[in-house]
Amino acid sequence: MIEMTSAFLERRRAATAATWNLDSGVVLVVAGDEIPVPGRGDRAYPFRAHSEYLYLADRERPGGVLAYAPADGWVEFVVPVTAEELLWTGLEGDHEGVPEGTRPLGELEAWVGDRSVRRLGAAADADVELRDGLIRVRRPKDDVELARMRIAAEATRAGFEELVPLIASGRTERELQVALEAAFLRNGGDFLAFETIVAAGDHAAVMHFSPTARKLRDGDLLLVDAGAEHRGYASDVTRTYAVGGTFTAEQALVHDTVRRAGETAIAACRPGTEWHDVHRAAALVVAEGLVELGVLRGSPETLVESGAATLFFPHGVGHPVGLGVRDTGAASDEAREPVPGLPRIRVDIALQPRQAWTVEPGIYIVPPLLARERGRDDVDWDRLDELDGFGGVRLEQNVLITDDGCELLTAAVPL
């Protein structure tokens, strides 16, 4: 395990300062504050520092501010730990006061003085230009980040390994959720990367479904999208299973199509490839499979260009992953016109080494989405009606872009 050192933080901060290239003023990177649970007395939601602050400070404490000024360098201001706080929350390893090398938050105002201030992190008036620069610094993962991502991936692997034997008729979505999350935390995860999705039957057609007390039935598809987090860094994996252990012929065709779409997209992940081209590579395979399934008519190229394939593959093929399940977004000057026929792709950039992405094609039968397009000639509506309640299939991997291709970070989780 590669541990965080002052040298890593100094390199991150130096790269950020060089990108900003400021000659005056002050930048305040704000961690954020605890958010109270409405109407629940003194309870608060678990605190998560803003990713920009965590990247530059590597500290998960509410109220912190990391300040930068060209004349002073980087200065970290934190809320002092009190004896009462130690009594009630028992912060591991903490003591009263502030950590060595930091200053009390109460000194920040005097330190800033009358200098102009720009803000980042958990600030309502975050500076777009500075954020754009930091986005570009954060995209390539350093060795500490990759080490944490690998621990998260291993915890996620262990969780899915424990989950699979539990998939059986009569169990509930929520039972599986609890077992999976417990395994993440037993095997190196210290938090959930996001809210676990366990979706059986037609629930599998809902992109971000929350598990319920519904019991699994033989013949159902079961879609599980989940991941462990370690020290802020996420793993994000989706697998789709057959309850009862055997796919129907139609389920097997869709599952195989999505698997091949993912493999094709992963093969396209190399430096210089535009992300929308990775999506298109997957979408062509999806369209081909939908023709074989009998729900679409036409050539794969035409079905992708017309948007017909998007009726069944309605989301982008993936997103950046790392510090949080959705890592750095698009910079303000990276906005692109939508690609005809494709869904909205939030981050559409050229891939570069050390970037980490999810690759997660899927095929879903979503009645409300399809109802709006009922008149299309390239859809066999009678065949589609036969698939009512089918649900969906999604398979998701995490990839690290290398100098000449990509490395699969989640290969140890069986498809």
What is the pLDDT of the chain when averaged over all its residues?
A: 96
Encode pLDDT of 184-209 as tens digits: 999 999 999 999 999 999 999 999 99
Same structural domain, 181 and 65: no
Encode pLDDT of 17-37 as tens digits: 999 999 999 999 999 999 999
Max Cα distance, the chain (Å): 72
Q: Is residue 414 part of a domain?
A: no
Describe the crossing of helices 275-293 and 249-268 by its angle, rounded to 10 degrees: 160
Q: Is this model's pTM higher than 0.85 or not?
A: yes
Same structural domain, 174 and 92: no
Strand 117-121: give its sheet, edge to edge. Answer: 103-104, 73-78, 65-69, 26-30, 117-121
Determine the 3-state secondary structure of 395 from DSSP: coil
Same structural domain, 129 and 202: no
Same structural domain, 226 and 131: no
| Domain containing residue 239: CATH number | 3.90.230.10
Q: What percent of the chain has pLDDT over 70?
A: 99
| Domain containing residue 31: CATH number | 3.40.350.10
- The tokens for 338 are 């939508």
**Statement: residue 85 has pLDDT above 90:** no
State which of 119, 138, 157 marks the end of a domain.
138
Q: Is residue 413 part of a domain?
A: no
Same structural domain, 67 and 183: no
Confidence band for 86, pLDDT divided at 50, 70 and 90: confident
Report the distance separating Cα 234 and Cα 322, nearest Å: 5
- The tokens for 155 are 């915890």
Q: Domain of residue 51: give its range.
A: 6-138
Same structural domain, 113 and 165: no
Report the distance separating Cα 218 and Cα 220, nearest Å: 6
Cα dihedral 60/63/67/72 (nearest 10): -100
**Statement: residue 104 has pLDDT above 80:** yes
